Amino acid sequence: MNQKITRIRRKLMAELDKERYEHTLGVMYTAASMAMRYDADIDKALMAGLLHDCAKCISGENKLCGRYHLSVSEVEKSNPSLLHAKLGAFLAAKKYHVDDKEIVNAIASHTTGRPHMSLLEKIIYIADYIEPGREELPNMAEVRKLAFHDIDACLYRILKDSLVYLDSRNIPIDPMTEKSYQYYKEKLDQKEE
Ligand code: DGI
Ligand code: FE
Ligand code: FE
C-alpha cells in the first residue's frame, strides 16, 4: 500500500496544480488522523484522501462523463464542478487501479455526501472540509474539534453550513446535498429524543 501511495502521489503532483496538491496532502493526513480516532483502516483513509480530488483539475467534465457513460443530472450539467467526485471515483478505479469499493465510494460522495455514509465516506467528507490548509470557513474551529469528538454531529454541521453558504451565493443545491442534510438532521434529532 505504501509503495502504491508513493506512486500515485507522484502522478498527482503532475496532474494537479500546486494548491490542489497541497490540499490533497492535507486531506490525506487529516483522514488518517480521523481513522486513528475512529478505528477505521488508516491505509484506506490515506488512499481515499489522496485520490478524492484526482479529477479536480480536468476540464470538459460533461464530455468526459459522456465518454465514460457516467450519468449527469441537470444540476451537474449546469455546475460541472460537481462532477469531479464521480469522475474521480471512476478514474481512481480505471486509471489508478484502486479496486477497493469503499475507497471508490468515499471519493464519489465527497462533495455532496449521501444518506447512510460508511465510516470512511464520513471521514473523507469531513477531512476535505477541515484539513489545515482549507480557508477559514465560518465555525471552523468548532467544526474541527467536533470532527474528533462526534463524527455524525460534525457531518451534520458541515452539511448545514454548506447549504447556508450555497444559498447565500444563489448556487443551485444538488438534491443529494439536501437529502444528506435531511437524513443526518433526522438521525441527530432521534438521538436527542
Ligand atoms: O473539491 P473541493 O474544493 O476540495 O471541495 P468539494 O469537493 O466539497 O467541492 C466544493 C465545491 O462544490 C464548492 O464549489 C461548492 C460545490 N458544491 C457542494 N455542494 C454543492 C455544490 N455545488 C452545487 N451547485 N450544489 C451543491 O449542493
Ligand atoms: Fe472535491
Ligand atoms: Fe477536496
Q: Please indicate whether residue 24, judged by its CB atom, sits closer than 6 Å to ligand 1.
A: no
> Phi/psi zone of residue 72: left (φ > 0), alpha (ψ -120 to 50 degrees), beta?
beta
Return mean pLDDT, the chain. 96
Ligand 1 closest atom vs CA 79 = 24
Q: Is pLDDT of 5 > 80?
A: yes
pLDDT per residue as tens digits for the range 135-175: 888 899 999 999 999 999 999 999 999 999 999 999 999 99
Q: Please indicate whether residue 166, judged by its CB atom, sits closer than 6 Å to ligand 1.
A: yes
pLDDT average, residue stretch 50-68: 95
Q: Please indicate whether residue 177, judged by its CB atom, sits closer than 6 Å to ligand 1.
A: yes
Q: Which ligand has an atom closest to residue 27 CA? A: 3
pTM for this entry: 0.97
Q: Is pLDDT of 133 > 80?
A: yes
Q: How confident is the model at residue 193 (pLDDT cuts 50, 70, 90)?
A: confident
CA dist 3 to 95, 111, 130, Å?
Answer: 16, 28, 27
Q: Please indicate whether residue 30, judged by its CB atom, sits closer than 6 Å to ligand 1.
A: no
Distance between CA 193 and CA 8 in Å, rounded? 46
pLDDT per residue as tens digits for the range 26-53: 999 999 999 999 999 999 999 999 999 9
Q: Please indicate whether residue 174, judged by its CB atom, sits closer than 6 Å to ligand 1.
A: yes
pLDDT average, residue stretch 12-37: 98
Residue 136's pLDDT is what? 85
| Smallest CA separation from ligand 1 atom 7, residue | 111
The values of phi and psi at residue 6, to 5°, are -60, -40
Which residue is listed with cell 460508511? 118
Residue 1's pLDDT is what? 77
Q: Please indicate whether residue 157, judged by its CB atom, sits closer than 6 Å to ligand 1.
A: no
Instruction: Give residue 30's Cα distance to chain centre.
Output: 12
pLDDT average, residue stretch 94-118: 98
- The helices-and-strands tally (H runs, E runs) of the chain is 11, 0
Q: Separation of 79 CA from ligand 1 center, angstroms?
A: 9
Q: Is pLDDT of 54 > 90?
A: yes
Residue 191's pLDDT is what? 84
3-class DSSP assignment, residue 139: coil
Test site for ligand 1: of 19, 75, 171, most ligand atoms within 8 A of the Cβ:
171
Three-class HEC string of 105-117: HHHHCCCCCCCCC
Residue 54 and residue 96 in contact, taking contact as beta carbons nearer than 8 Å: yes
